[in-house]
Amino acid sequence: MSKKMHLGWFMNYAPPQWLDPFDRVNTSWTNADFHIEMARMLEGACFDYLMIEDTLMVSNAYGGSTEAALKHALQVPKLDATVLAAAVAKATTKLGVIATASILSYPPFTLARMIASLDHLSDGRFGWNIVTSGEEQAAHNVGLDALPPRQMRYDMADEYVDVVTKLLASWEDDAVVMDRDTATFVDHTKVHEVNYVGKFYKSRGPLNVPQSPQGRPVYLQAGGSPRGRQFAAETADSIVAIAQGIEGMIDYRNDVRARAQAAGRNPDDIKVMFLVTPVLGDSAEEAEAKRHKMVNTDAFITGQLGMISTVTDIDFSAFPLDEPLPPLTTNGEQGSLNKFTQGGSDKTLRELATTETGFASCLPLVGTPASVATQMAEAIEAVGGDGFLLTTPIQHLSRRYVTDITEGLIPALRDLGAVRESYEHDTLRDNLRAF
């Protein structure tokens, strides 16, 4: 029997596939019907969670214009992730639902109130994907003159999570008594002020929401740089990981587990989820042909470069497609940049944009369901855990793609004993810690 793996799905509340005449959806995506249908399919396949990504801008990073972002629907139009999380939570019963919310978007009190409410609404299945935002334009949209330096953003995030966590704990779990004999709904002695005063944030508290079913929602984080990994190791219940191949996955997981151990945490309480983009077919040749069709178009290459420009604030339209890139650094998402450039590879920009369906995949998972399942199971055995966060190539989220996974790949993984066949628990945190 293979080592069991956890599974999540990385998704945007944005338009699904809209170009393929056999697979496109119409404007109904905005009412969440498509995404709710997808969530129910993932729940049927016993995924741990659906993670809904979010950003705060219409990017003009590629070519100094919003044209590429708007023309190719690159993270825009996009609706609010927390709104979709609420809809999905009420349409499912076991699937974890994680929404992205940036520390730039909300005062800590407002964020704590929102995520506690969503944990109640989902009966303990909600999680918060903690992001600092890495886009200059996002900072401008929330009233800042400039995006804070990356190191400072993590310092801010440390403090932000600290005050949010204290606010979430400001109600004891038995504060709500509903005692009819004394006409007492809440025991006021079990609700406490926080009186938090830090370098960046302050909040009096207490929260005006009772303690939520999980005590606090699950925390998800993606850390690529050493400082990001440190923040994730100290904070997260689950980590979105981007690494290069098996050796990179081993190094990443060992690193964050060592950091967690040094911070006094049990590393087994943190589930590292490696981002992958499987492409499936009835044969290896069909899967490769499907991958080739996906990536070898001008629209796909522009989309890839537009996306990596957005998250790194580097204008990749300025570089020749058929030449290697010069050394690059960013105040944006350094981990995404490192993965995209493959650690300073001498590949051309075109090759980087079309390799393994782009920068989102830690492994080249292209083949039949059985062969891809075997690759995934062998990878988790080699790495030691914990699971995979599946996503789609840009512009290719569709019912057909989700069906390939839930009705093709998942049964193949179950044949190997590599994934759960039913949920062990009712809350997201308990399911993450089930194995």
Residue 328 lies in a domain: no
Q: Does the pLDDT value for residue 159 go beyond 60? A: yes
Lowest mean pLDDT among 126-130, 291-295, 334-338: 334-338
Question: By three-state DSSP, how is residue 53 classified?
Answer: strand
- What tens digit of pLDDT does each residue of 256-310 get? 999 999 999 999 999 999 999 999 999 999 999 988 888 888 878 888 888 888 8
Q: Which residue has the higher pLDDT, 405 or 357?
A: 405
Give the pLDDT of residue 357: 46
CA–CA separation, 156 and 111 (whole Å): 15
Lowest mean pLDDT among 55-59, 60-64, 230-234, 359-363: 359-363
Residue 330 lies in a domain: no
Give the pLDDT of residue 134: 84
Residue 306 lies in a domain: no
Residue 115 lies in a domain: yes
Residue 263 lies in a domain: yes
Report residue 311's pLDDT band, with 50, 70 and 90 as the boundaries.
confident
Q: Output the DSSP codes for 172-194.
A: -TT-EEEETTTTEEE-GGGB---
Mean of the per-residue pLDDT values of the chain: 92
Residue 332 lies in a domain: no
- What tens digit of pLDDT does each residue of 209-223 get? 999 999 999 999 998
368 is in an annotated binding site: no
Can you state the percent helix, strand and coil of the chain, rounding each to 5?
45, 15, 40
Residue 198 lies in a domain: yes
Q: Does the pLDDT value for residue 246 go beyond 70? A: yes
341 is in an annotated binding site: no
Lowest mean pLDDT among 154-163, 211-220, 313-322, 409-418: 313-322
Give the pLDDT of residue 304: 83
CA–CA separation, 420 and 435 (whole Å): 10
* CA nearest to 142, candidates 151, 150, 152, 132: 132
CATH number, domain containing residue 243: 3.20.20.30
Number of domain units in the chain: 1
Q: Does the pLDDT value for residue 369 go beyond 60? A: yes
Q: Do residues 232 and 271 lie in contact, with contact meaning Cβ atoms separated by under 8 Å?
A: no
100 is in an annotated binding site: yes
pTM, full prediction: 0.92
* CA nearest to 234, candidates 201, 270, 202, 200: 270
Q: Which domain, by its residues, includes 209?
A: 6-284+362-432
54 is in an annotated binding site: yes
Residue 344 lies in a domain: no
